[in-house]
Amino acid sequence: MNEFINFDEISREKWQNLYKTSIPPLTHEELESIRSLNDEISLQDVQDVYLPLVHLLRLYKKNREDMSFSKGLFLQKIVKTPPLIIGISGSVAVGKSTTARLVQLLLSRAFPKLSVELVTTDGFLRTTADLKAQGILDRKGFPESYDMEALIEFLYRVKNGETCELPIYSHEIYDILPDQVQIIDRPDILIVEGINVLQNPQNQMLYISDFYDFSIYVDADEKLIEKWYLERFDSLLKLAKSDEANFYHQFTKMPTDEVVKLAKETWASVNRVNLREYIEPTRNRAEIILHKTEKHYVDKIYLKKF
């Protein structure tokens, strides 16, 4: 059975011609400022792939506004359009953070009078102390290591027009930052990025998927993602070399062959397992799949039919 049976496959060449925009292009410096470690992206990618995507998001936003207006007419009262919430998912090291920041920047250009916020579900990871207490530190990144009830409550409150706080996760210390929070103050558009964005935990009355108006899955061949993961691990070690507070500093004291072996084992026992069992199975829940090939080049786009 075709795994993309409910999607239209669109080549990059066709996709780039679907919409020509007047949104001011980014500068090279702006693009570099949002690029994640070891991710590759160009101004041509912005023009060919992401500007048409932003136009599609504009259509979804307009549709939401029209629906709220129609619902108001039906109920004979003013119905405020809730924030547009966009989910962005994919494997570790596939480049979803860069995609999220780029979409945020482009939407801010497209809607200069609206607030566009970005959060990462890393903030809903349980603390290292909690994971140790539960005996699941080795399962960090897997579904049970997240406080999904807190994430659902956060999304509900944002949709309901409330100001919210969420914890901040630091990749440098590999833990939640104590006494620091990110404040999300009733945004018009919220982007939620993370490996678990499309997973479907529920509380007694709500599914996490209830809150997304549009979702994006960043995809690539597993072997490529492994390559990018190992390259990123190496870059993180170089950055941590002179920073003793950095979680990765401990590995800089190890022989190179041992570090490479550790990185490969971590990929095989944690990230690959998580990808196969929990992340990739959510791919077909996305509205759009951005498929990457070598050097993070987006060669195909899959758009859900219905």
| Per-residue confidence (pLDDT) for residue 36, from 0 to 100 | 85
| Per-residue confidence (pLDDT) for residue 189, from 0 to 100 | 98
Given a contact cutoff of 8 angstroms between Cβ atoms, the answer to whether 190 and 88 are in contact is: no
Q: pLDDT digits over 154-170, tens only?
A: 999 999 999 999 999 99
Q: pLDDT digits over 191-230, tens only?
A: 999 999 999 876 667 788 889 999 999 999 999 999 999 9
Residue 300: pLDDT over 80: yes
CATH superfamily membership of 7-304: P-loop containing nucleotide triphosphate hydrolases (3.40.50.300)
| Per-residue confidence (pLDDT) for residue 164, from 0 to 100 | 97
Please indicate if the annotation marks 115 as binding a ligand: no
Question: In 3D, which of 177, 213, 218 has the Cα closest to residue 300?
Answer: 218
- How long is the chain? 306
Please indicate if the annotation marks 87 as binding a ligand: no
Please indicate if the annotation marks 95 as binding a ligand: yes
Name the amino acid, one letter, at 14.
K
| Domain residue spans of the chain | 7-304
pLDDT band for 3, please (50, 70, 90 cuts).
Answer: confident
| Per-residue confidence (pLDDT) for residue 209, from 0 to 100 | 83
Please indicate if the annotation marks 161 as binding a ligand: no
pLDDT band for 38, please (50, 70, 90 cuts).
Answer: confident
Please indicate if the annotation marks 270 as binding a ligand: no
Rg, the chain, Cα only? 20
Phi/psi at 85 (5° precision): -110, 125
Please indicate if the annotation marks 33 as binding a ligand: no
∠ CA 98-101-106 to the nearest 5 degrees?
A: 120
Distance between CA atoms of residues 147 and 138, nearest Å: 16
Distance between CA atoms of residues 107 and 158, nearest Å: 18
Residue 1: pLDDT over 60: no
The arithmetic mean of pLDDT across residues 26-51, rounded, is 90
The arithmetic mean of pLDDT across residues 254-267, rounded, is 94
pLDDT band for 88, please (50, 70, 90 cuts).
Answer: very high
Average predicted confidence (pLDDT) for the chain: 93
Residues of the chain with pLDDT > 90: what percent?
85
Q: pLDDT digits over 230-257, tens only?
A: 999 999 999 999 899 899 999 999 999 9
Distance between CA atoms of residues 132 and 123, nearest Å: 17
pTM equals 0.94
Please indicate if the annotation marks 94 as binding a ligand: yes
